[in-house]
Structure 1
Amino acid sequence: MSATKPARIEPGGLRELGLLNWVIAKIGARAIRAPRFSLFHVLGQHRLLFLSWLPYSGILLGMMSKLPVQDIETVILRVAHLRNCEYELQQHRRRARSKGLDADLQARIFEGPDADGLTDRQRALITATDEFVVTRGVSPQTWAKLAQYLTRPQLIEFCMLAAQYDGLAATITTLGVPLDFPD
């Protein structure tokens, strides 16, 4: 989200989130080292949906994931870049750095599958992500290439991950979720 867009739903507090979601949002903020986890403070206002979405999202982020965390972050960064979602980019640039994707590799991910210095696996992931987000599918050629690197469960998870972060980017942008960090 651009910093100039106003929030359509302001981040809530204890009253709007309820005790459980407020506590989860506070724990989340501590985990990302921010005063507030805006996404949780917004989505948490739909109490049941938030509690349903949280474990699903956690699985896709690496908690019991079938995909290596570097693959996960590659896909998320590429989706966020394609969707111009500054909130996702801000969150996942930091997380990706902590998982071994330095600034140079992130720049190559943003440049696209033809960037110098990418592995064949990274090229396959980025190409498949581009196709998935832009065309809502993956071509047979790209699927065959991706299947050289991913198992059947990982291929399923790739689709769910790309769809989750594409939808999340749209939700964040539409709701105008404020950034968590001043940079």
Structure 2
Amino acid sequence: MSPSPAGIPPGGFKELGPVNWVIAKVGARGIRRPRFSLMNVLGQHRLLFPVWLPLSAYLLYAGKLSRRDAETVILRVGHLRDCEYELQQHRRLARSRGLDAAFQAKVFEGPDAEGLTERERVLITATDEFVVTRGVSAQTWRALAGHYTRAQLIEFCMLAAQYDGLAATITTLQVPLDFPD
């Protein structure tokens, strides 16, 4: 089966405008690619993109959840939403944050995977519930609250929602992959 054409193809300078084009170029350098397709698509909304970007960057790079926990949530959301773009980007980033291929396989397997800590099981379970049911059960929430602060619990919800929405956006807009694998 051949890939379907992009719903909105990645744009260049004309479509992004000078500010978003520079941001997309910096992003592309960060992933060591000639283009960062997600930025070259979302950047075509010249006002929304620079407003969305700081929240996204905060959740990814500076949030109150550990980078390991954030990547666990993001990988699980990408897996649940079958979003290859999100998975391709975050498998790489997760490796740089200490989540090796064996651990990533456990994240994809789910909360019952052998070798997960209780905290990791609860985090994956909460992510599953949040994405699938649009909420977290009282039992799972209590377990999650046993491992995280109030601010981290709020951030967990925002992170899961951000990446669930991003996966839906990527899929709908048919953002092309950045890497050949």
- Provide the TM-score with structure 1 as the length reference: 0.97
Aligned length: 181
SS at match of 2:35: coil
**Which residue is 2:59 aligned to?**
60
Shift in CA distance, 3/24, structure 1 to aligned 2, threshold 3 Å: farther
Deviation at 1:4, TM superposition (A): 1.5
Is the 8 Å Cα contact of residues 3 and 178 (structure 1) preserved in structure 2? Answer: no
Query: Structure 1 vs Structure 2: percent identity of aligned residues?
Result: 74
Match of 2:100? 102
Q: Deviation string for 1:93-134 (max 9, x for gaps)?
A: 000000000000000000000000111111011000000000
Q: Which residue of 2 aligns with 1:78?
A: 76
Give unpaired runs (5+ residues) of structure 2: none
Report the equivalent of 1:149: 147
Deviating above 4 A after TM superposition, structure 1's stretches of 4 or more consecutive aligned residues are none
User: RMSD value over aligned CA atoms?
Assistant: 1.0
Which runs of no fewer than 5 residues in structure 1 stay unpaired? none
Separation of aligned partners in 2, 1:144 and 1:5: 43
Structure-1 separation of matches of 2:119 and 2:91: 20
Instruction: Find the counterpart in structure 2 of residue 12 from structure 1.
Output: 11
One-letter identity of the residue aligned with 1:49: L
Q: Distance in 2 between matches of 1:96 and 1:34?
A: 18
- Matches of 1:14 and 1:78 in 2, distance apart? 34
* TM-score (norm: length of structure 2): 0.98
